[in-house]
Structure 1
Amino acid sequence: MPTERITFSGHNGDTLSARLDLPKGPLLATALFAHCFTCSKDIPAARRIAARLSSMGIAVLRFDFTGLGHSEGEFANTTFSSNVDDLHAAANYLASRNMAPSLLIGHSLGGAAVLRAAGDMPSVKAITTIGAPFEPGHVTHNFGGALSEIASTGQAEVCLGGRPFTIRKDFVEDVAATNLSTAIGNLKRALLVLHAPKDDVVGIENAAEIFGAAKHPKSFVTLDDADHLVSTPEDAEYAAEVISAWAGRYLDLRPPAPAPATPEGIVHVSEADTAGFLQDINAGPFHHALADEPLAYGGTNKGMSPYGFLSAGLGACTSMTIRMYARRKGWPLEHVSVDISHNKVHAQDADDRTGDKIDSFRRVIHLAGDLDDAQRQKLLEIADKCPVHRTLERSSHVETELA
C-alpha cells in the first residue's frame, strides 16, 4: 500500500507525526485510527488493519498522540480530553484534503477517545473499538501505588510497557471525571465492539458495558485468545478481516466504472506477511482472499496456493459456462460441480517435443438432473468452450513493468 508520512498540528499546536495509508486504486472512504495508551501508530495491529482496509479502497490515517512516538509535545502535559482534541485535529486535517473520515477505529484508551469524539464528527458513519475501556478512568489501574504520590505531589513516574512515563494529577482527574454512557447512547452510528475474553489489561466486562450502552446497529465479536495489544499476526489478521467485512455494510464503497482496457478492474496482490508467503488478494472493495503456500513448502496454509486459484478459476468458469448453456436450452440441469486437480507432466506425455514439463489440469464434471445421454454429452463438449479453458490451452501474453 502507498504510504504518506505526514504531519499536522495537534490540539495545542505541537506537530503530530502520522502515516496515511492509501489504496492503490480509487479512494472510496477514509478511516481514522487511534492507538492505545502510551502506544504508537506503528503497532502491528494498526499496521495490519490499515493494510487490509487500504486494500478495500479505504485510506487510513494513524497518528501518534501528543508526546508519543514521533510526535512533538510533552506526554506529561496531556489528558484524555487532549487526546480527543488531537483526534479532532486529525479529522480536520483529513477534511482539509477532502478526505473527511467515515470510519473511526480506536484501540484501548484510543477506543474510548473515538467514542467521545464521534459525536462531533458528522462525516463518521461507523465506529470500531478494540479492547476499549467503558470508563477511561480504568487506565489508572496501571499506575498502582503511584496514585497516592500523584495525589500528594501532583505527579509521579510510572512504568508502562517497560518504559517510564510521567503521569500528572490533571490526567488522573480528567479520566476519572469522564463518563462515556451518554456519548455511547447518542452515537447514532453503527458500532462494532472487538474484545478478547482473556484481555488482562482491560477486562471483557468493559465490552459488555459499551455494547449495553449503545443503540442498534451494534455488533460484538470476540477476539478469543488475543492479548490486549492484539500482537500476534493471526489475531491481527482476524481483527482486520472482521473490521473490513463489517465496515463494508455501512460505508459507501462503490468504485467508479473500470477502464475499458480492464473490464473487471484491477486485482491487487500484496504481501500480508513478509516473513512467509501469505498474500492479500483484492478485486475491488468487496472481494478479498488470501493466498499462501502449504506448510510443507514454508507457508502457513492460510489460503489457497497460486495454482489453487488457477484451478478454481477453471472450475468456476466451467460450471458457469455449463449452467448458461443449459439455462438457454431449458434443460433440466439441477446442479453442477467440478473437481479440478493440477500437476506437472513431461511434455512428451502430451505429444510436445520440447522435452519440458507442462501443466496438466484434470477436470471431473458432475451433472445432476433428469438429463439424457445426448444432453450430458453436449454439456461435456460445452465445458471445453469455457473462456478460462481456452485461455489455458492457448498461449497468453503477460506484460510486466516496475511501478
Structure 2
Amino acid sequence: MSKHRSKLEINGTQGTLAAILEKPGPHPKAFIIYAHCFTCGKDSLAASRISRGLVAQGYAVLRYDFAGIGNSEGKFEDTNFTSSVDDLVLVAQHLKENYQAPAILIGHSFGGAVVLGAAGKIKNLKGVVTVAAPSKPCHVIKQFAQFEDEIQANGQADVLLSGRPFIMKKQFLDDVYSQNQDETIRKLKTPLLVFHSPRDTTVLIKEAEHIYGYAMHPKSFISLDPADHLLTSSKDAAYVASSVAVWAEHYIDDASNH
C-alpha cells in the first residue's frame, strides 16, 4: 500500500468517522473531500476510483464513511441530512487543522446534496462538484417510498436499501423535508461543476438541470452518458476524475502559498 495512504479517525456528530486520506506525495496541488452516495460507503467503486484518479492527477483526497455506515461510529437511523452536513464540516475542519484546508468538495448522489449543504459553512473553498446528485435532499425518500406512510404513522420502519436492512425514522423525513436547498444553491459562492448522466434512472437528469438553474455563475455541466447512477464502469469514474482535475486547475491556488 502507498506510504501516502493514511487511515484517519475524525470526531463527528455521532462518534468517530472512519476516513482514508490518499496523497500523491508531500506537496499535493490541493486537498479534496469526497462524500459518498446514500448508504454506499467510502470504499464503493465510484468513491475509490474517482479518489485514486484524482490522486494520480496530483490531488490529495479524503473520503470517509458517513455516520452509521461502514467503519464509522453512530447509528444510521439517528442520522439525517443536517447531521451529515455537520459531519462534513467537521471533516473539513480536521483537514484544515492537521493538513491543509480543503479546496474542493465532491459529492455523489445524496453526498452531492450534502456537499451543496455544507459548502456555505466551509471557508476558503475553491469549488464544489456534484455527481448524479438530486436537487433536494428529500429525493432520497424515493428509495423507500413504500414505507413512508408506515414511518410517519409509527415513527420508524425497517427498510431495504441496496439489499441491506436499515431502520428509517420519522426524524429523517422531517429533516429532509425541512431543507430549502434551492436557496442554499442560489447562495453558493463557489464555482460549481455538475455531472449527470441522461441514462440515470435513479436520479433523473432533470435534477441536474434544477441544480444548474438555481446556481449562479461560474457553473459548468458535464454529461456522463452512458453512465449509470453508481458509475459502475471504471471508464466513467476515470472520466469524472480527469475532468475534475482539469476544471479545478482554474480555481485552486498554488497550495505552497497557503
* TM-score bracket for this pair, using the shorter chain length: over 0.9
8 Å contact 2:126–2:191 — kept in the other structure? Answer: yes
Q: Which runs of 5+ in 2 are unaligned?
A: none
2:65: which partner in 1? 64
Q: SS of the residue aligned with 1:53? A: helix
8 Å contact 1:111–1:128 — kept in the other structure? Answer: yes
State the one-letter code of the partner of 2:140: V
Superimposed CA distance per residue, residues 22-57 of structure 1 (whole angstroms, 9 cap, x where no aligned partner): 112522310011111111001111112211222233
TM-score scaled by length of structure 1: 0.62
TM-score scaled by length of structure 2: 0.95
8 Å contact 2:57–2:242 — kept in the other structure? Answer: no
State the one-letter code of the partner of 2:52: A
2:86: which partner in 1? 85
2:159: which partner in 1? 158
1:220: which partner in 2? 221
- Where does 1:186-205 land on structure 2 (aligned, <5 Å)? 186-205=187-206
Which deviates more, 208-217 or 234-243?
234-243
1:35: which partner in 2? 36
Superimposed CA distance per residue, residues 47-68 of structure 1 (whole angstroms, 9 cap, x where no aligned partner): 1221122223321110001100
Cα distance in 2 between the residues matched to 1:121 and 1:160: 30
- From 3, 8, 19, the counterpart of 1:6: 8
Cα distance in 1 between the residues matched to 2:112 and 2:146: 26
Cα distance in 1 between the residues matched to 2:59 and 2:240: 16
Cα distance in 2 between the residues matched to 1:160 and 1:208: 26
8 Å contact 1:155–1:168 — kept in the other structure? Answer: yes
Q: RMSD of aligned C-alpha atoms?
A: 1.4
8 Å contact 2:160–2:166 — kept in the other structure? Answer: yes
2:17: which partner in 1? 16
1:142: which partner in 2? 143
Cα distance in 2 between the residues matched to 1:232 and 1:143: 26
- Where does 1:159-308 land on structure 2 (aligned, <5 Å)? 159-253=160-254
8 Å contact 2:28–2:255 — kept in the other structure? Answer: no
Structure whose alpha-carbon radius of gyration is higher: 1
Greater relative contact order structure (CA < 8 Å, 6+ sep): 2
Cα distance in 1 between the residues matched to 2:143 and 2:119: 26
Q: Which runs of 5+ in 1 are unaligned?
A: 257-403
Same amino acid, percent of matched pairs: 45
Cα distance in 2 between the residues matched to 1:145 and 1:168: 14
8 Å contact 2:30–2:255 — kept in the other structure? Answer: no
2:126: which partner in 1? 125
Q: SS of the residue aligned with 1:178? A: coil
